[in-house]
A and B are shown apart, each in its own frame.
Chain A
Amino acid sequence: MIEVISAARCVECNQCVAVCPTNVFDRVEGGIPMIARQKDCQTCFMCELYCPVDALYVAPDSEGVAGVTEAELERSGLIGGYREKVGWGKGRQPVASHEYMIKLAARAGF
Chain B
Amino acid sequence: MPQHIRQQPIKQNTTADVLVLGGGPAGAWAAWNAARNGARVILADKGYLGTSGATAPGGTTLLVIPPVAELREQAVTARLRAGGYLSENAWIHRVLDQVERNLELVEQWGYPFRKDETGRPLRTHLHGPEYMKLMRRVVRKAGVKIWDQSPALELLHDRHGVGGARGVNRLTGEAWEVRANAVVIATGGCAFLSKGLGCNVLTGEGLLMAAEAGAELSGMEFSRQYAPSFAGGTVTRGRMLAWATLYDGAGRPLLRGDRIFGSIPELLSKGPVYASLDLADTPEKREFLRRAHPIFFMPLERAGIDPFQGKFPLTLRYEGTMRGTGGLRLTGADCSTSVPGLYAAGDAASREKVTGAISGGGAYNASWAICSGSWAGEGAAHFALSSARTADSRGLTAAGRYGLQAGSDQPHAFEAKPLITAVQREVLPLEINYFRSESGVGGALERLDALLPELGGVIPPTVQGIVQSREAAALLMAGRWIYTAALFRKETRGLAHLAEYPQLDPRQTHRIILSGTARVNIRTESVPHARELRVPEEGRAII
Contacts and interface: CB of A to CB of B under 8 A. Distances in A.
Nearest to B50: A19
Contacts of A94: 112, 127, 130
Contact of A110 (B129, B170, B288, B362): B362
A37 B302 CA distance: 22
A70 interface: no
Contacts of B234: 42-44, 60, 62
B170 A98 contact: no
Given A43-B233, A60-B233, A102-B114, A21 B122 contact: no
B232 A60 contact: yes
Contact of B48 (A18, A42, A105): A18
Interface in B182-235: 195, 197-201, 230, 232-234
A26 B1 contact: yes
A13 interface: no
Nearest to B24: A21
A17 B172 CA distance: 12
B499 interface: no
A108 interface: yes
Given A42-B195, A45-B298, A20 B48 contact: yes
B292 A103 contact: yes
Interface string A54-68: 000001111100000
Given A62-B195, A86-B129, A96-B130, A46 B291 contact: no
Interface string A67-110: 00000000000100110011010000011111111111111111
B239 A110 contact: yes
**8 cross-chain pairs, A with B, having the tightest CB-CB distances, nearest first:** A21-B47, A97-B112, A60-B299, A100-B292, A85-B294, A42-B200, A96-B127, A96-B130
Contacts of A109: 242
A17 B363 CA distance: 31
B34 interface: no
Contacts of B113: 97
Contacts of A102: 114, 122, 124-125
Given A50-B51, A60-B299, A110-B239, A88 B230 contact: no
Nearest to A21: B47
Interface in B279-311: 288-289, 291-295, 298-303
B201 A59 contact: no
Interface string A6-48: 0000000000011111110011000000000100101111100
A97 B59 CA distance: 13
Contact of B195 (A23, A43, A78, A105): A43
B133 to A, nearest CB: 9
A110 B363 contact: yes
Interface of B: 1, 46-48, 50-53, 56-57, 59, 61, 111-114, 122, 124-127, 129-131, 148-149, 170-171, 195, 197-201, 230, 232-234, 239, 242, 288-289, 291-295, 298-303, 362-363, 464
Given A19-B148, A21-B53, A40-B200, 19 more contacts: A18-B48, A21-B46, A21-B56, A43-B234, A44-B197, A45-B295, A45-B298, A46-B129, A60-B230, A60-B232, A61-B232, A62-B234, A81-B298, A85-B298, A86-B294, A97-B114, A101-B114, A101-B125, A105-B124
Contact of A96 (B112, B148, B289): B112
Contacts of A43: 195, 197, 233-234, 299
Contacts of A37: 464
Contacts of A40: 200
A98 B112 CA distance: 9
Contacts of A22: 47, 200-201
A60 B51 contact: no
Nearest to B193: A42
Max chain B Cβ within 10 angstroms of own Cβ: one of A44, A97, A103, A109: A44
B289 to A, nearest CB: 7
Contacts of B197: 43-44
Max chain A Cβ within 10 angstroms of own Cβ: one of B114, B234, B301: B234
A40 B198 CA distance: 12
A2 interface: no
B48 A60 contact: no
A42 to B, nearest CB: 4
Given A18-B149, A61-B303, A45 B291 contact: no
A5 interface: no
A42 B292 contact: no
Contacts of B239: 108, 110
A58 to B, nearest CB: 8
A44 B293 CA distance: 14
A43 B130 CA distance: 18
A75 to B, nearest CB: 14
B47 A23 contact: yes
A97 to B, nearest CB: 3
Contact of B293 (A18, A21, A104): A104
Contact of B129 (A49, A59, A61, A106): A49
Contacts of A88: 129
A99 B116 CA distance: 9
B434 to A, nearest CB: 21
B50 A95 contact: no
23 contacts: A19-B148, A21-B48, A26-B1, A27-B1, A42-B200, A46-B51, A60-B230, A60-B234, A81-B301, A82-B298, A86-B294, A95-B292, A96-B112, A96-B130, A96-B131, A100-B288, A101-B127, A103-B292, A105-B124, A108-B239, A109-B242, A110-B61, A110-B363
B292 A101 contact: yes
B347 to A, nearest CB: 15
A27 B170 CA distance: 12
